[in-house]
């Protein structure tokens, strides 16, 4: 194991974050900020009009208040993540800030896989009217949270809440 690896012992210890977009404007939003817990595969995402350090800090503070302060955050070297403002917040909360490198992008691979999955779900639910993507983001997240993830053998919903998510009968039937 490399000496730089981050040990994950509990859910919400390590989060990967990334921006998706820009997309066609939807209710003034052009970006999606995505965070994925590396152990449970739980995803939080927010539609945003911009992709700057201020919205990242606000999003992370909301994430910390909901799920607790993680041991580490992993992201790429975009200026919205790699800046003094975010570094100060990470230091204040005692969070290790890991940046993926251009020659080793799989460091943030979990969030990249999640982005592709969310994009695929949004395309299926939005259909021809791409401007409605922000209205469908919560539905896409629900679909993602209740889908089995092969590496862990459970849905993220089950790992976080300790029980299966009861879906409408029509949806449960289609899942099999």
- Structure confidence at residue 153 (pLDDT): 87
- Structure confidence at residue 58 (pLDDT): 98
* Low pLDDT (below 70) residues in the chain: 1-6, 101-108, 169-176
Enumerate the domain spans of the chain: 14-174
143-to-29, 92, 172 alpha-carbon distances in Å: 21, 34, 11
- Structure confidence at residue 173 (pLDDT): 41
Q: Of the candidates 120, 140, 130, 123, which has an alpha carbon nearest to the alpha carbon of residue 25? A: 130
57-to-23, 37, 42, 53 alpha-carbon distances in Å: 21, 17, 19, 6
- Structure confidence at residue 99 (pLDDT): 87
Q: Is 34 in contact with 51 (CB distance < 8 Å)? A: no
CATH topology of domain 14-174: Nucleotidyltransferase; domain 5 (3.30.420)
d(CA 127, CA 106): 30
- Structure confidence at residue 172 (pLDDT): 45
Q: Where are the alpha helices (DSSP H) in the chain?
A: 53-67, 84-93, 109-126, 133-145, 156-161, 169-174
Chain centroid to CA 107: how far? 15
């Amino acid at each position: 194991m490399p000496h730089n690896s981050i040990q994950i012992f509990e859910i919400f210890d390590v989060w990967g974050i990334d921006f998706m977009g820009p997309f066609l404007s939807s209710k003034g939003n052009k970006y999606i900020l995505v965070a994925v817990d590396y152990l449970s595969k739980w995803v939080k995402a927010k539609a945003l009009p911009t992709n700057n350090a201020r919205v990242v800090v606000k999003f992370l503070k909301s994430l910390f208040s909901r799920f607790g302060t993680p041991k580490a955050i992993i992201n790429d070297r975009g200026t919205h993540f790699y800046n003094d403002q975010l570094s100060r917040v990470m230091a204040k909360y005692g969070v290790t800030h890991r940046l993926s490198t251009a020659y080793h992008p799989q460091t943030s691979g979990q969030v990249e896989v999640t982005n592709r999955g969310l994009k695929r779900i949004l395309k299926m639910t939005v259909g021809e009217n791409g401007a409605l993507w922000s209205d469908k983001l919560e539905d896409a997240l629900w679909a993602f949270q209740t889908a089995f993830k092969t590496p862990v053998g459970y849905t993220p919903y089950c790992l976080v809440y300790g029980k299966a998510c009861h879906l409408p009968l029509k949806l449960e039937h289609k899942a099999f």
